[in-house]
Structure formats: C-alpha cells, structure tokens
A and B are shown apart, each in its own frame.
Chain A
C-alpha cells in the first residue's frame, strides 16, 4: 500500500500559485526526499499532507485517508516536524516529551514506552530535565526529532530535520532517522537542501521547482539515468535548465 499519494495537487495563496498540480507517491516503509530550492513548494506540500493547510485542488491521501475529509484520522497516523519548530521556553525537554506521549496515548504503558524512546532518541542526558530556553538550537532540534519519532508514527513528515545543526549533530540525527525507519518500518517523508544528506538517507526523491515536480525516482537510477556524478549535479542541472 502507498503511504502517501499526492495527485494533481494545487495550492493557491490569493493570486500566487504555490503548487501547480504536483503528483507523487511515497511507498510504505521508504524514506522519500522532496528536494528543491527555496520557495519551490516543499513546505506547502508538507503542510497539506500534515492537515495544516487545505488544498485548492487535487487529492492527498495518507495510508488511504483523505487529508481533508479524514483529517483527524490522518493526524493519528502521522507526526510532523516543521522546519522552524520552536520550543516552549519554561518547560523541560522531558516535560515536553511526556506531554506529547500523553496526548497520543493518555496515561498508559504505551505512553511510558514512548517517553522512554523519546528520552533515548533525544540523548541529552541530564540536560533533558532543564528548561528548554537553556538549550542550543541543536538540542532543541534533537528534542523535536525525538518527539516526532517516539510516537511511532506510520508516516513521519520531517521538514529540514538537520537545519541549523553542526556536522556532528546533523550526522547523529540522520543516523537516528535511518535506523528508526529501518527498525520500525516507519515511512519518512523529508525535505532537505543538503543533497549529500538526501543521497545518503533517501531511497527515492522528487525534485520540485516553482510548484512543479521535475523528476521523481530512485536516487541511484536518477544519477545513472542523467549521467551525473551526484544528486547535487542533477539538482543544479535541472533547476538551472528549468530556470533558463
């Protein structure tokens, strides 16, 4: 079964058309990358899949559930990590993770297990019990990634999961996502500007530019098919070609 189906998706903000009829599918259990330059429409697409925005036209389904008509059901299947997700200043990372676990599972054994997993994924040690206003950007991002994964979503939508992180932190987060998806069979839909990251992490990618999908396919096949060295070269070739 396809985890995410996006079909002829259009999104207009007033007169501006952010998405011009894009279509792609994400298979269950795979890590799918949506790549593209700034303003291409990645975040808008993610927000629609995460039930935050309504499509102007087209259809989006998550594990067979329509994001408009069955938004509440979709929310139970997904977890979403926004690109610039903030943190509550005066509660600790632990309290935040506990709150999320209880929202998803109530006061249950499942919530305790989720919290335990969250603590493990965040790997902040004693810092996790300090107020989040004392955290660095990287620490906040770790808590957010842990929060998104610990609830064992069927589909994790991660918008720029390693944005603003240093090399070491970014590498750890990438490893965390890959291992988690492999271990739990979680479908991951992510976006990134880092082509190296996408190449190493994603099974398949779709390249979006100015609201249109330019290509979609397995990373290795795309590199081979276009005769380029890597994804970055392909990206530049397609985006510049499209722009000229």
Chain B
C-alpha cells in the first residue's frame, strides 16, 4: 500500500492546479478583510473624530432654543461641531416634517451653497414651552447623505449630536433635584456573576457573555470546517475521479492488491495533501480575523470593545487543554470522513465533472446537521440520538465544542465517540471497496446515460 500512497501524494503535491485554489483562498480572505475593515475604520473614525457641520433653524418663540445653540457653540471644540444658523422662512400651517417644508430647506441650502452640511436641525416654535414644562421635545433632523456605504458615518455623527442635546436637556430637567443624569439614564447597574455548574467556574459578567462566546464559536467553527471540508472532499473526489477519467484505474484494478487497499491509499495520500493545503486556508482565515480585530481594536475604546472580537481567546479560555485536544482530533476525524466521502464519490464517478457535480450538494447536506447541533440543545435529545450525534463525524466536533464550553468532556465517553467516528469512515471505505469495480462503474454509467436520455 505504501508505494501507492507515495504515488498519490507525489502526483497531487506536484500539481500546481491543486495549489492555486489554496493559495488564492489564503490571499483572498485577508484581502477581503482589508477591503471591508479599512472603509469601516475610516467611517467610524469620521463619526467619532471628524467635525460635524450642522445647520440650525430656530423657530423657537422663547429663549431656550438660543440657549441650546449657545451651549453647543461653547462646546464647539470639545464635541467638534461647526454650527451654521439658517434663515428659512416658515408658514406655521405647514408641519416641520412635511415634504414641502423639507424641500424649502433643501432649496435654501442649494441657493446658499450649504449642501456640504452633514445635517440640519430644526428647533420648533414650542421648544421653550415644552422645555419649561419639562416635556419631550421634537427636533426635526434632516440628514444630508452624499454617499452610501455599509458603515455610514452620517448616522453616527447624528447620534453624537442627539446624545449631546439629550444630555443637555436631561440635565436641565433635573436642575433643582439631587438626581444625577446618569442615574435616570441607567437606574440599574448590573454586576452579574455567572456560575458554570458543570465546570465549577465563576465568570464575572452576565450569561450573555458566555452565550455570545458560544454563538460566535457556533457560527465560525462550522464555517472554518466547511472551508476545509470542501477542499478535502473535492480533492479526494477529484483525485479518484481522475483515475477513472484518465483510464489509470483500469490498470490499477488488475494489480495484485485489494480494492480496499487501493481506496485507502487514495484516501491517505489525498488526505495528507489536503491537510497541507488546508493549513493555507486556516492561515488565511486567521489573518482575516486578525486584521478585523486589529483594525477595530485600534479605533474602539477598550471598555467599549465587543466580546465578539475576543471570542477565540474566550473560547480557548473556556475549553480545557485536554478537551481542546479532543475537539481537534474530532475535527481531523471529520475531515477524514469528508475525504472518505470524496473517495466514494470519485470512485463512483466516471469523470471529474460528475464528481464535482456531486460534491457540491453533498457538502451542503453534510453541513446542515453541524448547524443543527450548533443551535439546538443536545441534552434535550433522546439518549440514543444524543450518542449518535456525538459519534457521527459530521455532528461530533460541534457537539464536543458545545459540551466542552459548559462542562468537562468525559475521557471515557469521548474516546469511544472518537473511535466510533474513525470507524465510520473506515467502514464507508470498506463497503465502497466491496462494490468498487469496473463492473459497478459501467453499470452506474449506463444508469446515468439512461437517466440523461429520459
């Protein structure tokens, strides 16, 4: 079997066509991260640090509107706002949010070359009356959008202004009382502590911190496995189908070596190469995550950073080294299963085209159970089904990851699950070897051509 494995390894590893997709994916992911992260960074930067050019129209019949404008003027440098007072005449019968009024404001801006403003705030006539009565006031904000991006800076700039005005009025309403604005805004300060019973672990933070970590892991791990699995299944299926297409299989099947040995050598050879190639995929993906976290961490103040960016670190902290080893073994076994599946598909395909057509839908089908495990409570399943989910290669990694985050994996049970997963792949190959012959292939090809004719 060894000469065949070596042949398989050499034939694949020397093929530049094999490496091109790996190299492209290793480059494309970091490039994608740069393409998304840097516009996002500049949008966030603009929203937080750039001056806001704000137009004001004051229809207030009292002096509170002027006070607000003066307050904003006094904070000009601190909150980075440039104020421009606009003189737009107004017929009181037309509401301030009516399109006629809005068009009038826009005409004014165009006539006075003020279209570079970020927004226009309209202080209504009843502003003073409402402020004195300590009521909610309505401010019409006309945002001027000049470009469309996923990360729009205009809305974030608007948020900055409304926060300042909210705080200004909030403080005003609380004048004469001993109540601080912060208390009214956040009357409860949660100091949550979460206790993971199965792990006997105390975490300072509310359970959503743990859940966020799990859900992000649940989201990303299947994606990582999917990227690698697609490569593994396609490579093994292609390498096997090429034997059919290039007519090398016919010779191979007459050698004094069993069908199962032929299939296993194809499996081991292509699996080894696909693991090497996949390391490039993983490198690209890790770089993708790294670029994201670096870019966002550089602009978001530390206390405001979301736990999403630290989910890997957090998950690693949650899973013990032994459990992590189990999870990694399980992932490798799943990839081994995918390679086996690829070999089966390739063995039963008369050419590479058929193998490629079959691998796509089969890969998608394989991922559905993985996501099912990620988003359902495994403990609610019947014990038999639960054991099956922990044993079959396509659901096992996710089941082990979820369990290892909230409790410690049992070495005894986990070992049985891992061995079972390995044997499922072996059995798959052995069964295929039993039906794998030119006879079966020609029968399948005939069936396929009959199907095409229909």
User: Could you tell me which A residues sit within 8 Å of B by CB distance?
Assistant: 13-14, 47, 50-54, 72, 75-76, 78-82, 84-91, 95-96, 98-100, 102-104, 131, 144, 147
- Give B12's nearest chain A residue, CB to CB: A90
Known: A53-B438, A88-B7. A103 touches B246 (CB 8 A): no
> Are A103 and B251 closer than 8 Å at their CB atoms?
no
Known: A53-B442, A82-B247. A72 touches B256 (CB 8 A): yes
The answer to whether B14 has its CB under 8 Å from any CB of chain A is: yes
B244-271 vs A, CB cutoff 8 Å, 1 = contact: the mask equals 0011101101111110000000000000
CA distance A76 to B6 in the complex (A): 22
Nearest Cβ on chain A to B107's Cβ, whole angstroms:
71
> Are B11 and A13 closer than 8 Å at their CB atoms?
no
Please give, as numbers and ranges, the residues of chain A lying within 8 Å of B248 by CB-CB distance.
85-88
The answer to whether B3 has its CB under 8 Å from any CB of chain A is: yes
Binding site secondary structure of chain A: mixed
Query: Which of A14, A87, A88, A102 has the largest number of chain B CB atoms within 10 A?
Result: A88
The answer to whether B446 has its CB under 8 Å from any CB of chain A is: yes
CA distance A130 to B180 in the complex (A): 83
The answer to whether B430 has its CB under 8 Å from any CB of chain A is: no
Query: Which of B11, B15, B257 has the largest number of chain A CB atoms within 10 A?
Result: B11
The answer to whether B165 has its CB under 8 Å from any CB of chain A is: no
The answer to whether B200 has its CB under 8 Å from any CB of chain A is: no
Please give, as numbers and ranges, the residues of chain B lying within 8 Å of A52 by CB-CB distance.
250, 253-254, 437-439
CA distance A86 to B14 in the complex (A): 18
CA distance A98 to B257 in the complex (A): 15
How many positions in chain B have a CB within 8 Å of any CB in the partner chain? 26
> Are A131 and B14 closer than 8 Å at their CB atoms?
yes
Please give, as numbers and ranges, the residues of chain B lying within 8 Å of A47 by CB-CB distance.
250, 438
The answer to whether B181 has its CB under 8 Å from any CB of chain A is: no
CA distance A80 to B252 in the complex (A): 10
Nearest Cβ on chain A to B349's Cβ, whole angstroms:
16
Q: List 15 A-B contacts (CB under 8 A).
A: A52-B439, A76-B256, A79-B254, A80-B254, A85-B247, A85-B250, A86-B247, A88-B248, A89-B11, A90-B12, A95-B7, A96-B7, A100-B255, A102-B3, A144-B251
Nearest Cβ on chain B to A73's Cβ, whole angstroms:
9
CA distance A144 to B322 in the complex (A): 51
Q: A53-B442, A75-B255 are in contact. List 18 more A-B contacts (CB 8 A).
A: A51-B253, A51-B254, A52-B437, A52-B438, A75-B254, A78-B254, A82-B247, A82-B251, A86-B248, A87-B246, A89-B15, A90-B10, A90-B15, A95-B7, A95-B10, A99-B6, A102-B3, A103-B257
A-B contact count (CB 8 A): 82
Known: A13-B446, A91-B7. A50 touches B256 (CB 8 A): no
Please give, as numbers and ranges, the residues of chain B lying within 8 Å of A90 by CB-CB distance.
10-12, 14-15
The answer to whether B4 has its CB under 8 Å from any CB of chain A is: yes
Please give, as numbers and ranges, the residues of chain A lying within 8 Å of B4 by CB-CB distance.
99, 103
Nearest Cβ on chain B to A147's Cβ, whole angstroms:
8
Nearest Cβ on chain A to B386's Cβ, whole angstroms:
43
- Give B250's nearest chain A residue, CB to CB: A82
CA distance A78 to B250 in the complex (A): 14
CA distance A91 to B256 in the complex (A): 21
Please give, as numbers and ranges, the residues of chain A lying within 8 Å of B246 by CB-CB distance.
86-89
> Are A85 and B251 closer than 8 Å at their CB atoms?
yes
CA distance A14 to B447 in the complex (A): 10
Nearest Cβ on chain A to B199's Cβ, whole angstroms:
50
CA distance A235 to B7 in the complex (A): 43
Interface residues of B in 1-21 (CB under 8 A from A): 2-4, 6-7, 10-12, 14-15
- Give B18's nearest chain A residue, CB to CB: A90
CA distance A144 to B439 in the complex (A): 23
Please give, as numbers and ranges, the residues of chain B lying within 8 Å of A50 by CB-CB distance.
254
> Are A98 and B254 closer than 8 Å at their CB atoms?
no
Q: Which 3 A-B pairs have the closest CB atoms?
A: A86-B246, A90-B14, A102-B3
CA distance A95 to B253 in the complex (A): 19
Known: A82-B250, A85-B248, A88-B11. A53 touches B439 (CB 8 A): yes
Please give, as numbers and ranges, the residues of chain B lying within 8 Å of A131 by CB-CB distance.
14
> Are B7 and A13 closer than 8 Å at their CB atoms?
no
CA distance A90 to B14 in the complex (A): 6
> Are B3 and A103 closer than 8 Å at their CB atoms?
yes
Please give, as numbers and ranges, the residues of chain B lying within 8 Å of A95 by CB-CB distance.
7, 10
Nearest Cβ on chain B to A103's Cβ, whole angstroms:
5
Nearest Cβ on chain B to A206's Cβ, whole angstroms:
21
CA distance A144 to B252 in the complex (A): 12
Please give, as numbers and ranges, the residues of chain B lying within 8 Å of A54 by CB-CB distance.
437, 439
